[in-house]
Chains A and B, each alone.
Chain A
Amino acid sequence: MNILSLLIFIPLLFALAIIVLPSSMRAGFKYITLLATLVQLGISIWMYLHFQTGGHFGGVNNEAQFQFVQKIPWIDLSLGNMGKMQVDYFVGIDGISITLVLMTSLVMVIAALASWEIKSNLKGFFSLFLLLNTAVIGVFCALDFFLFYIFYELMLLPLYFLIGMWGGARREYAAIKFFLYTLFGSVFMLLVMVGLYLSVKDPATGSHTFNIIQMMNPANYDQGSVFSVLAHKTILGMPARTVGFVVLFIAFAIKVPIVPLHTWLPDAHVEAPTPVSIILAGILLKVGGYGIIRICLGIFPEIASSGAFWLGLLGVISIIYGALNALAQRDLKRLIAYSSVSHMGFVLLGIASQTPEGISGALMQMVSHGFLSAMLFFLVGVVYNRVHDRDIYNFRGLGTLMPKYTTFVMIAFFASLGIPGLSAFIGEAFSLLGAFESSSVNGYLPYWMAICGSVGIILSAAYFLWTLQRMFFGTLSLKGGDVWKTALTDLDSREILALMPLALMTLVLGVMPSLVFDKINDSVLALVHFLK
C-alpha cells in the first residue's frame, strides 16, 4: 500500500468505522477522530522527513521527479470517434505540496480537538469531518485532473452539511451561498477540464489523458485541438487558452478567495462552527492557492506570464480591500475572516511576481496562514463558547480576566500582523520582496503594487491593535455583567493543548523558515524555470 494513498484514505476508513459503530458509543467518536488525525499527522511527518530534496527532485512538470507516487489505471474507455479516454489514480507530491500536506494534517488535529465542543449528532459530524479530511488531502496529492476534480468537489458536500447543520443563526444562507459560489466555479472548471483532456494525448498510450503533468507539455496537445498552444483557436472570439486560464482562475479564486469573489467567506466563516472555520480558513483557502500554482500556472504558463499584471492587481486589491473591510467589522469572527482575505492577497501577489522569492513567500504565507488562522478561529471559538457573543464592543479588559487566553491572542495577532520571528513575517516579507523584484527581474509587476501591499501590512496592524486595545486592555467591563464574568474562565488544558502546537509552529517557522524553504526550494526553482 502506497504511503500517500494510506494518508489519503485513512480518515475514510475511520469514518466508516464511526458509521458502523452504534450511536450508543457516541462518546468515543471524538477519540476515534482524534486518533485518525494523529495517525495521519504521524504519516505526513514521516513523509516530510523522508522527502528528498535536490535538483532532480524538483517535480512540477517532470513526472519522474515526484515522490511517493502511485499510479493505477482507473477508467480507460474508448469514446468512439473521440479516441480513448484515460483516467489514472495518480497521486504524488513534490515540494509544492509536501509542506501543505503536513500543514493540513496538523491543522486537522487541531480541528479535531476543537470539535470536542460539538454536542449534537456526533456520528454525522465526525463522519463528515473525516470525509472532508480525505478530500482535502486528496486535492493536495492528486496529479490527475479527474482525480483532482473529484476530491475538489468532494469537499463541497461535507462542508455544506457541516456549516448547515452545526452552524450559527444564518447557517442556511451561508451554507447555500458557499455551495453555489464554489459549484459555479467548479462547473465551468469541468468544461475546461473536458476541453483540456480532449486536447491532450498521452504520448505513451496515444489516448486522451487527464494527467496534469502531461497537460503541462505543449508537445502533447493535438494539432488543431481547442487548447493547443500552436493552433490559436478562439472561443466566442477570445483566445481559447486565455478563456481556459480565466475560467480555471475564477474557479480557484473563489476558493482563495480573491476580491470580488470573496463574499461567501465572511458568511461561511461566521456561521460555521469553530472546527469548520478552522478547516475553512486553515486549509480550504490554501486549496485555491495551490490550484492556481499547480494548474493555472502549470498548464497555461504563457497566459500566466502575460496576465501576471492582472493577477498582481487582484492580489493588491484583495490585500487592501480585505484589510479595510476588517477594519470596519465589529464581529470578531468577521474581522478575522476579512483578515484572511487580506492575507491571502499576499499569496496571489507573490504568485503573480513569478520570482523564486515571490512564490516561496506565497507558499510560506499559505503555510503560516494555515496555522495562524486556525489559531485565530480557535481563539474566537473559545470566547464564543463561553458566552455566545462575538461583538468586540461587548468586551473590554479581558486581559485581566483571562491572562493565558490573552497571551495566546497576542501571539496570534502579532504573528498575523507580521512581527518578525513569527512565520507570517517571512511569508509577507518575501511575497513583497518578490513583487518588488519582479519589476526589475521580469517586469511583470510595477513596484507600486508592492508598496500598496505594504500599506496593507500597516492596515492589518491597525485593526489587530484596535481589537486588542478594545477587547483585552483597559479596565474590565462586559456586556453580560457578572454572568459573563463567571462564564469567561481562562483556557483549560485541552484548549492549551490545541493552541500550543500552533503557537510553536508559528514561532519555529518564524525562526527557522528553512524548515519550509529547504523542502520547497527545488520545486519553486523548477516552476520558475518552467514559467520562463
Chain B
Amino acid sequence: MHDLLPFLPGQLNQVLDGITLLIPELYLSGLFLVILVTDILFGKNSGWLCRILACAGLVVVLIKDLQQFGLVVNNGFPFFNEMLLLHRTSVTFKALIDIFSIILLLYFEWDDELRSHTKKLSGLYAIAIAAILGLHLMAMSINLLSIYLSIEMVSIASYLMVAYHTENKLSSEAGLKYVLFGAASSAVMLYGISLLYGFTGSLNLLTGNMLPGLLHTNAMAVSLAFALVFVGVGFKLSFVPMHFWVPDIYQGAPTPVSAFLSTVPKIATFCLLINFFIPFLYYPKWDMHDFKLALSAAGIVTMVAGNFAAVLQNNVKRMLAYSSIGHTGFALMALAAFNDAGKTALSFYLVAYSLASIGTWMLATYFADAAKAEDMTSYKGLGFKYPLAGVLFVILLISLTGIPLTAGFNGKLVVFSAAYSAYQQSHYIWTLLLMITGAVTTVVSLFYYIKIPLNLFLRKTERSAGFASPNKYLLASVAIITILVIYLGFFPDILLKNL
C-alpha cells in the first residue's frame, strides 16, 4: 500500500473539490432516498406524496443546475479524478433533462393504465429519480467506467419502468425483450471497453494514455473496439442497426414510460456522445474521418429506416416509435457536423423534438383514455368530438414534421444550417447526402404524420357510444407544451441564445 500513499491526499482533495460540482446529483440521490423512505413508510398509497416530493425535488435540482451555469467555462473541466466532465453543454442538457423529467413525472399519474396499476406508482417515482441521476451522470461522464456505469444505471431503471405495469401482458413482454436486448448489447459494449482498456491501459478519455495508445495500435482493432462500444451507446440512442427493439418496447410499455424513453435518455446520450468526441476533436493527430463517416451513414440509414417504416404503421404508439427513430437520425446530422453550431443546433433540435413528442405521447394517452383509441382507424372523427385535443395534436405533428411557425421547423433550419456550414468548409459528400436524405424523409414523414389529422378530422366516425370524459390536467399541460412549441417557432433566438 505504500506505493499509493503519496497520491492519497491529492486524490481526496480532488474528491472534495468535486463535491461542489456535484451538488445537483447529490440532491438527486438524497431525493431518491427520501422517496424510497416515504414509499416504505406510507406504504403503497403514498403515490401522490411521492409524486409531489419527486417533482418538488426535481425543481430544486433544476435550480441547482441553473446555478451551475455560473461556475462553468465553455470548454469545461474534469473532476472526480477525471471521472466526470462539466461544461456548458452538459449543464444545459442536465437542465433540459430535469425540465422534461418534471413534465413526465407529472404525466405518469395521468395515464389511466398506470393509475389503475394495483401496485401503485410510488416505486416508479423512486426508479425514475434513480434513472434521472443516471442520466445526469451520463451527461457528464468522460471516463469509460463512469460511462458504462451510468448507461447501465439508466438501462436497468428503464427495464424496470417498462416492466413496471406487471398486470399487463404486453408490458411484461416488452420488459423481457428490453432486458435481454439491453443486457446483451451492454455486454458487447463492455467487451469493447475492455478492448479499449487493453489497447491503452487507461480508462480515461480526456487525459492519460488513451488517445496516444490508440494511435499506436492497429487501426482495424481500434475501430472494432469503437464499433462494439457504439453498440451500447446506439442501444440507448436507438439508431440503426441498434433500433430493432424500439417499436416493440414503445408499444408495449405504458405510454408515459414510452414518452420517457423516447426523450430524456436520447438527450443524455447525445450529450455523452459530445463528451466522448471532445477529446478526439481536440487531439491534434487524430483523424475524425471514421467517426464522421460512421455517424453520417448511421444518420442516413436511420432516417430512412425510421421514417419509411413508420409509413405503414397503424398503431399510433408504434408509429411514434418509428418517427422517434427517424428524428434520432436527423439529430445525428447535427452531431456529424462536428462544430459549435452543430452543438447548438442539436440541443435546440432536441428541445423542439422532445417537447413535441412528449405532447404527442400525452395526446396518445388522452385519446386512449377518452375513446379507447389505440389505432389510427379508431381515431376516426374524434377531432370533432374533442376539438381542442385534435387541434393540439395537429400542431404538434406539424412541429414534428418541421413546418414553419413551430419549434420543429426552426430546429430543422438550424440543423440544416449547421450541416451546411460544415459542408461549406469541407465539401464532404456525406454531409450533403445527409441533408438531402433529411429533406426527403421530411416529406415522407408528413406522409404518416398526416394520417392522424386525416383520421381525426377528414373521416367521420360511425361509433357514438363509449366516450369517456378525459383528464383535464393532461389536456392543459399539452396546451402549455403546444404554446411553448409555437412560441419557439416565432422566437427561437430566446432559447438559441442560451444554448
**Is there any pair of Cβ atoms, one from A and one from B, under 8 angstroms apart in the complex?**
yes
Which residues of A are in contact with B by a Cβ distance under 8 Å?
75-77, 79-82, 85, 121, 149-150, 153-154, 156-157, 160-161, 164-165, 171-172, 175-176, 179-180, 183-184, 187-188, 190-191, 194-195, 197-198, 224-226, 233, 235-236
A521 to B411, CA, bound (A): 41
Tell me whether B443 and A164 are in contact (CB under 8 A).
Answer: no
Chain A residues with Cβ below 8 Å from B371 are none
Q: A157-B403, A172-B454, A190-B412 are in contact. List 5 more A-B contacts (CB 8 A).
A: A77-B497, A79-B344, A172-B459, A191-B435, A194-B417
Closest to B489 in A: A150
Chain B residues with Cβ below 8 Å from A79 are 341, 344-345, 414, 417-418, 421
Tell me whether B457 and A183 are in contact (CB under 8 A).
Answer: no
Closest to B395 in A: A157
A417 to B412, CA, bound (A): 45
By CB atoms of chain B within 10 A, which of A79, A164, A197, A226 has the most?
A79
A160 to B449, CA, bound (A): 13
Chain A residues with Cβ below 8 Å from B384 are 121
A149 to B491, CA, bound (A): 16
Chain A residues with Cβ below 8 Å from B398 are 157
B160 proximal to A (CB < 8 A): no
Tell me whether B457 and A164 are in contact (CB under 8 A).
Answer: yes
Which residues of B are in contact with A by a Cβ distance under 8 Å?
339-341, 343-345, 384, 394, 398, 403-405, 409, 412-414, 416-418, 420-421, 423-424, 427, 429, 432, 435-436, 439-440, 442-443, 446-447, 450, 453-454, 457-459, 491-493, 496-497
Tell me whether B421 and A82 are in contact (CB under 8 A).
Answer: yes
Chain B residues with Cβ below 8 Å from A226 are 420, 423-424
A198 to B421, CA, bound (A): 7
A184 to B493, CA, bound (A): 27
A197 to B421, CA, bound (A): 11
Tell me whether B413 and A190 are in contact (CB under 8 A).
Answer: yes
Tell me whether B344 and A75 are in contact (CB under 8 A).
Answer: no
Smallest CB separation, B494 vs chain A (Å): 9
Tell me whether A80 and B344 are in contact (CB under 8 A).
Answer: yes
- Known interface pairs A76-B493, A180-B446, A226-B423. Does A164 touch B339 (Cβ–Cβ under 8 Å)? no
Closest to A175 in B: B458
Chain B interface, DSSP helix/strand/loop, else mixed:
helix
Among all A-B residue pairs, the 4 with the closest Cβ atoms:
A80-B340, A77-B493, A150-B404, A82-B421
Interface CB pairs A-B, < 8 A, 6:
A81-B341, A82-B418, A161-B453, A176-B447, A198-B421, A233-B427
Tell me whether A191 and B416 are in contact (CB under 8 A).
Answer: yes
Smallest CB separation, A354 vs chain B (Å): 30
Smallest CB separation, A504 vs chain B (Å): 37
Smallest CB separation, A370 vs chain B (Å): 25
A232 to B462, CA, bound (A): 61
User: Of the candidates A149, A225, A235, which one forms a contact with B404 in the assembled complex, judged by CB atoms under 8 Å apart?
Assistant: A149
Chain A residues with Cβ below 8 Å from B459 are 172
Closest to B495 in A: A77
Smallest CB separation, A261 vs chain B (Å): 14
Chain A residues with Cβ below 8 Å from B429 are 236
Smallest CB separation, B450 vs chain A (Å): 6
Chain A residues with Cβ below 8 Å from B417 are 79, 82, 85, 194, 197-198
Smallest CB separation, B439 vs chain A (Å): 4
Chain A residues with Cβ below 8 Å from B409 are 153
Chain B residues with Cβ below 8 Å from A81 are 339-341, 421
Tell me whether B403 and A75 are in contact (CB under 8 A).
Answer: no
A184 to B441, CA, bound (A): 10
Chain A residues with Cβ below 8 Å from B427 are 233
Chain A residues with Cβ below 8 Å from B440 are 187
Closest to A121 in B: B384
Smallest CB separation, A155 vs chain B (Å): 11
Tell me whether A77 and B458 are in contact (CB under 8 A).
Answer: no
Tell me whether A194 and B458 are in contact (CB under 8 A).
Answer: no
Chain A residues with Cβ below 8 Å from B344 are 79-80
A190 to B411, CA, bound (A): 12
Closest to B345 in A: A79
Closest to A199 in B: B424
Tell me whether A190 and B423 are in contact (CB under 8 A).
Answer: no
A80 to B429, CA, bound (A): 23
Smallest CB separation, B238 vs chain A (Å): 24
